[in-house]
Structure 1
Amino acid sequence: MGMGYELAVKQALVVSIVLGVAVAGVEPSKKMMRLRQVPAMYVFGDSTLDVGNNNYLPGEGVPRANKPYYGIDLPGSGKPTGRFSNGYNTADFVAKTLGFNKSPLAYFVLKAHDKLIPSAITRGVSYASAGSGILDSTNAGGNIPLSQQVRLFQSTKAEMDATVGPGAVTSLLTRSFFLLGVGSNDLFVFTTELAKQNRSATQSDIAVLYGSLISNYSAAITELYELGARKLGIINVGPVGCVPRVRVLNATGGCADGMNQLAAGFDAALESLLAGLAAKLPGMAYSLADSFGLAARTDQLAAGFVNADSACCGGGRLGAEADCLPGATLCADRDRFLFWDRVHPSQRAAMLSAQAYYDGPAQFTKPINFKQLAQAQE
């Protein structure tokens, strides 16, 4: 293709940054252009946000949601895409509240189809990876850890700069939404290792863990800021002691209080970290979504869930003794189950969470909600 074509593409992409609308592929409707509140969205985190990156990772131990019954309720296809859900996940619903039709596509999907830079400029990219943690050591070798996700974004930004120029990219990134949700896997691995040693965590163990997590999370957020991120929507760690995978280890099927206390302590440290970073990083705005508080304070029956402790797709006690795979036991009404599989929320649970973070009750987001963050001015 000639230089004239390349120049035209470059000019079109620059215009899209200025207007905050997509130009690559099918043009968005006028309604979508009115509704979109940010020009792009970039996603970092674990399986609650992954939309297909892990499908491209090699190795037997990589967690993948590329088989039925994953995606059974996904609008338009009903097929597995790599989302650990019966349909859309939390990243999709956060994107919807911001005016997109769903989460931006996974980094490796875009790379495979040579669409990384057009998407990065006009819509965003998801770097999230199932099994990943704040620490590189968490489930090492089976995922893209948070630090590597940030490095992939760094390389993406370098290509964006080369395509449309650093000034246009800076303008884009300062107005875009950066969604982060990670940390649960670090806590799962920590407690699993202690169980293998047949001992309980000491205060010293927990202090070392929190120190490592906060240091690494701080480094990742600071690097994103230095690369141009200014609006960060961060989801804390929920009550991991209440997922079916953990409940089934308890003879009564109850929550593991120790794990929940571990999560609550980390969440408090994360809240302090963000307040400190915002005070020293000029222009940084953030919204901390309290998934822990949302789960703890929601009347699940009133929210329409008839089952809040078992997996919809799985097998055995609480549906938590087997993975969600072809041939698994599948509940009939998936919208009435809080959990889709033995770890992850159902599509409806993800939707209600995203709506709460966007403009729900004030106690579930600090210091502002996702809607206020998206609309915040530099």
Structure 2
Amino acid sequence: MIPVCGLPICVRSRQELCNVSTLGLPLVMVRIVVFNSKAFSMQHVRAPRRWCKRLGSLVLLAAALQAGVAQAKITSLSRLFVLGDSLSDSGNSGVLTGGSFTPPPYVQNRYSNGPVAVEQLWQLFNPGDVTFKPSLSGGTNFAVGGSTSGQENDVGLYSPIFVDLGMASQLTAYAAASPAFDPSTSLFYVSAFPNDVFYFLNSGMSAGTYTGANGTPTTLDDVPVLAAANIRGTVETLIAAGAKHLLVANSPDLSKVPFFLGTPGAPDIARISQDYNTLLATAMAAVASANPQVDIVLYPLDQTINAFIANPASFGFDNVTQACFNNVSVCSDPSRYLFWDAVHPTTRAHGLIAQGYYNSVPGPLPVFGALSALGWSRRLRQRLGATHS
């Protein structure tokens, strides 16, 4: 059974989430966060109290079936290690190209008009701290734009500087750096998949293989299978190196980004996006079962973006289908747009995503069997009552 928690239904102060643990093996912490737009929107909509009652009952049932102890939550963040693609690249692409990539109006070599989600996540934990930097500038953000989940890099099809700069190379760079970290206050963020699709479509070749993957894709349907295996291999390698807290983001529905939206191939892109997310959830459950001492949060980036698109006004967006920057001109107010370009979010959208990450990372409150679960659910309801009175 996969432990499920992070349900953002009952909202505490600062939009914190109700977290449920112990729905499975003792100490196994695969937390599949379920996005709820009402609890997450700018309007701070209060959830019905009946949901909290149901949540308490769920905890009681789980504890009665199988008592467990939750992994200690992260209350402070001393190190944030990032392996990812352009959604997380905070400047490595610029270092690689001497500052010429990405050019203005992109901001400071990011694939957006400002800080990306992982940067803003760091700031939520450490306001004003500027020590979180790209790895090529001496920091711990190893993400590189164009990275696939394996060896290849989609930008490498056009620039030799980026050849083979996929997630596998990021993991190699991390191992070579051998950074010291406190496992109890360090978070490892892992996310990649869109460039696997772009690479396959752009080159007609494989998206590469890495530990945990078998073979190379010959059809589009093979891409999510191998990508999920690649991410599993990366996560397992990080765990073997001492990681105790991991945040793994799934993929947005790529058919809804401006690049694919309304195209003949959009239904296929939607299907493989969903296939990847399903396979990734299965893979992370297997990793957690084999590593019960580790806290793995599987964050639903797809649900987050879908919520923005379904109810844009609640999140302060006017446009969720078009790019603010169309390679010729920039829209008048990027903060009202979900997408900066045909693929990447605006920095404001990144900020909302970062808040979702932050809400899911601190982890569950400790639960020690049925009696403790009863007390926990009561304390949670009391806290909610105090917050909303």
Name the TM-score, length of structure 2 as normaliser: 0.64
User: Counterpart of 1:301?
Assistant: 313
Q: How does 1:27-42 map to 2 (within 5 A)?
A: 37-42=76-81
After superposition, the Cα gap between the structure-2 partners of 1:82 and 1:204, relative to the gap in structure 1 and judged at 3 Å, is closer
Does residue 53 of structure 1 match 2:63? no
CA distance in structure 2 between the aligned counterparts of 1:257 and 1:376, rounded to whole angstroms: 42
User: Counterpart of 1:64?
Assistant: 101
CA distance in structure 1 between the aligned counterparts of 2:90 and 2:247, rounded to whole angstroms: 18
- Among residues 106, 109, 115, which one is paired with 2:134 in the alignment? 106
Q: How does 1:155-166 map to 2 (within 5 A)?
A: 155-157=176-178, 160=179
After superposition, the Cα gap between the structure-2 partners of 1:93 and 1:345, relative to the gap in structure 1 and judged at 3 Å, is same
After superposition, the Cα gap between the structure-2 partners of 1:256 and 1:69, relative to the gap in structure 1 and judged at 3 Å, is same
1:187–1:263: 8 Å Cα contact kept in structure 2? no
2:190–2:235: 8 Å Cα contact kept in structure 1? no
Question: How large is the RMSD of aligned CA atoms in angstroms?
Answer: 2.9
Q: How does 1:259-274 map to 2 (within 5 A)?
A: 259-274=269-284
Code of the residue aligned with 1:69 in structure 2: it is P
User: Counterpart of 1:345?
Assistant: 345
User: Counterpart of 2:120?
Assistant: 93
Does residue 278 of structure 1 match 2:288? yes
Code of the residue aligned with 1:148 in structure 2: it is S
Does residue 179 of structure 1 match 2:179? no
After superposition, the Cα gap between the structure-2 partners of 1:282 and 1:302, relative to the gap in structure 1 and judged at 3 Å, is closer
Note the C-alpha offset of 1:301: 2.5
Stretch moving more, 97-106 or 284-293 = 97-106
- Among residues 203, 206, 220, which one is paired with 2:234 in the alignment? 220
User: Counterpart of 2:385?
Assistant: none
CA distance in structure 2 between the aligned counterparts of 1:236 and 1:293, rounded to whole angstroms: 10
User: Counterpart of 1:136?
Assistant: 151
1:244–1:310: 8 Å Cα contact kept in structure 2? yes
After superposition, the Cα gap between the structure-2 partners of 1:376 and 1:277, relative to the gap in structure 1 and judged at 3 Å, is farther
After superposition, the Cα gap between the structure-2 partners of 1:237 and 1:227, relative to the gap in structure 1 and judged at 3 Å, is same
2:258–2:343: 8 Å Cα contact kept in structure 1? yes
Does residue 371 of structure 1 match 2:349? no
Q: Where do 5+ consecutive residues of structure 1 fail to align?
A: 1-34, 72-80, 111-118, 120-124, 161-168, 196-202, 315-322, 360-368
Task: Give a deviation string over 1:186-220, Cα, whole Å, max 9, x none.
Answer: 0222344569xxxxxxx983553233222222221
After superposition, the Cα gap between the structure-2 partners of 1:205 and 1:249, relative to the gap in structure 1 and judged at 3 Å, is closer
1:92–1:103: 8 Å Cα contact kept in structure 2? no
After superposition, the Cα gap between the structure-2 partners of 1:82 and 1:332, relative to the gap in structure 1 and judged at 3 Å, is same
Code of the residue aligned with 2:253 in structure 1: it is P
Note the C-alpha offset of 1:282: 3.8
Note the C-alpha offset of 1:38: 1.6
Q: How does 1:182-261 map to 2 (within 5 A)?
A: 182-193=192-203, 205-206=219-220, 208-247=222-261, 249=263, 256-261=266-271
After superposition, the Cα gap between the structure-2 partners of 1:174 and 1:147, relative to the gap in structure 1 and judged at 3 Å, is farther
Note the C-alpha offset of 1:356: 2.1
1:233–1:289: 8 Å Cα contact kept in structure 2? yes
Note the C-alpha offset of 1:48: 0.7
CA distance in structure 2 between the aligned counterparts of 1:260 and 1:248, rounded to whole angstroms: 11
CA distance in structure 2 between the aligned counterparts of 1:237 and 1:137, rounded to whole angstroms: 18
CA distance in structure 1 between the aligned counterparts of 2:343 and 2:295, rounded to whole angstroms: 31
Task: Give a deviation string over 1:121-150, Cα, whole Å, max 9, x none.
Answer: xxxx11000000102134245262111111
Name the TM-score, length of structure 1 as normaliser: 0.66
Task: Give a deviation string over 1:284-341, Cα, whole Å, max 9, x none.
Answer: 1111111111122331122111111111112xxxxxxxx3xxxx31111111011111
After superposition, the Cα gap between the structure-2 partners of 1:183 and 1:88, relative to the gap in structure 1 and judged at 3 Å, is same
1:70–1:83: 8 Å Cα contact kept in structure 2? yes
CA distance in structure 2 between the aligned counterparts of 1:98 and 1:53, rounded to whole angstroms: 22
User: Counterpart of 2:299?
Assistant: 289
CA distance in structure 1 between the aligned counterparts of 2:169 and 2:236, rounded to whole angstroms: 14
After superposition, the Cα gap between the structure-2 partners of 1:281 and 1:339, relative to the gap in structure 1 and judged at 3 Å, is same
CA distance in structure 2 between the aligned counterparts of 1:97 and 1:376, rounded to whole angstroms: 23
Code of the residue aligned with 2:347 in structure 1: it is Q
Stretch moving more, 140-149 or 348-357 = 140-149
Note the C-alpha offset of 1:247: 2.7
Note the C-alpha offset of 1:277: 0.2
Does residue 149 of structure 1 match 2:170? yes
CA distance in structure 1 between the aligned counterparts of 2:266 and 2:151, rounded to whole angstroms: 26
Note the C-alpha offset of 1:55: 1.5
User: Counterpart of 1:335?
Assistant: 335
After superposition, the Cα gap between the structure-2 partners of 1:36 and 1:276, relative to the gap in structure 1 and judged at 3 Å, is closer
Higher helix share: 1
2:82–2:188: 8 Å Cα contact kept in structure 1? yes
1:98–1:371: 8 Å Cα contact kept in structure 2? no
